[in-house]
Amino acid sequence: MMPQDLAEKLTSWRRYLHANPELSRFETDTSAFVSAKLAEMNIPFESGIGGHGVVATLSRGKSNRSVGLRADMDALPIEETTGLDYASTRAGVMHACGHDGHTTSLLGAAALLAADDSWTGTVQLVFQPAEEGSGGALAMLADGLLERFPMERVFAYHNWPGLEAGTVAVHDGPVMAAGARLKFTVRGHAGHAALPHLTRDPMIASAHLLLALQTIVSRDLDPLESAVLSLTTMQAGSVANQIADVAVLTGTMRTLQTPTRHAMEAAIRRIAAGTATSFGVEIDVDVARGIEVTQNTAAEADLAAVVAGAIGLKVRRDLPPAMTGEDFCWFLRQRPGAFVWIGNGPADGGRDLHNPNYDFNDAILPAAAAYLAGIAKGALR
């Protein structure tokens, strides 16, 4: 059971971070806050790892075993609508994904581990910047994270709205999807809107392209394969009486298996080429691969379930993976480990991830911190 004074302290820290969010690659104040709290606990750390990353090291005894725990720190470019007393004080920026809670949980785990003499070995506490699509994990790895701060295994968690508060969901294999950013540049021929026969309308071609691309998941892929393709922006033209010369569409695709990704990419290019021919336009296709599948290793997933159960948390192993993506995938490609979900409670009223009305549930901070501390000790045994 976490001491009441520590639980209250964690809530205070989390709400401070929530009120002072920072976007990816700009986490200067957040990094300084984390560093200050580590210093208060007399835990040695280094900052400036891969940007604004912070890594603290706790060592005890003569064991050469090591483990890494990771939390993300960045916020999102979303205008908060919660109306909370501790709502974001920075216009257009909010912790809409709970990274404020993840960071605080790892600070809580640091406090628990520092006060616990029942373990030996080394725990690396990794506070990662720029998780939200800005390559923070790769930047830390490129900065020598694993060489400078050795870890045999690595663990992390994400809060999960809609899952019972404090419940730990452990997946066998894939947890979150691989992703790619899509961009289609449709080049036509501009002209007067009243003389469309003298133009090549990129808007019409784009509309057909958008609809045709939606057939990939339903008609090109095995129905038992998981995939998502979403086009989310379309930009073209500037005046009402002119047909534009260029339209640009962007979006994302998500997959859980490499063959599915290859099949989707091939279908995207085939459909774009066919649409271009049909409407007499040119279509440039850019498929920018991003994160890989976040996939647990078997032994570490089992360990996560055992540890969570041993500290009294409810464990579920029956949930399917999500098509969201996670920068933690890059750590799991370098070291065995597990990425679990910890229930954030009901998602009523828009308390979903990336929603302007989302808020991290402070009631799960003790459970999350205890899990992180517990998995570190379990991995070192």
pLDDT at position 230 is 97
Domain spans of the chain?
A: 4-174+293-380, 178-289
Closest C-alpha to 375, from 64, 195, 140, 154 = 154
- Please check whether the domain covering 4-174+293-380 is classified as CATH 3.40.630.10: yes
pLDDT surpassing 80 at residue 1: no
Tens of pLDDT, residue by residue over 169-214, are 999 999 999 999 999 999 999 999 999 999 999 999 999 999 999 9
Whether residue 120 contacts residue 61, with contact meaning beta carbons closer than 8 Å, is answered with yes
Q: What is the bridge-based pairing of β-strands 178-187 and 282-289?
A: antiparallel
**How many Cβ atoms sit within 10 Å of the Cβ of residue 266?**
12
pLDDT surpassing 90 at residue 248: yes
> Whole-angstrom Cα distance, residue 53 to residue 331?
14
Whether residue 315 contacts residue 321, with contact meaning beta carbons closer than 8 Å, is answered with no
Please provide the DSSP assignment of 260-321 as one string.
HHHHHHHHHHHHHHHHHHHHT-EEEEEEEE----EE--HHHHHHHHHHHHHTT--EE--PPP
Q: What is the reported pTM? A: 0.94
> Whole-angstrom Cα distance, residue 21 to residue 36?
17
Whether residue 358 contacts residue 352, with contact meaning beta carbons closer than 8 Å, is answered with yes
Share of the chain above pLDDT 90, in %: 98
pLDDT at position 134 is 87
- Residue 378 tokens, joined: 């379990």
- Please check whether the domain covering 178-289 is classified as CATH 3.30.70.360: yes
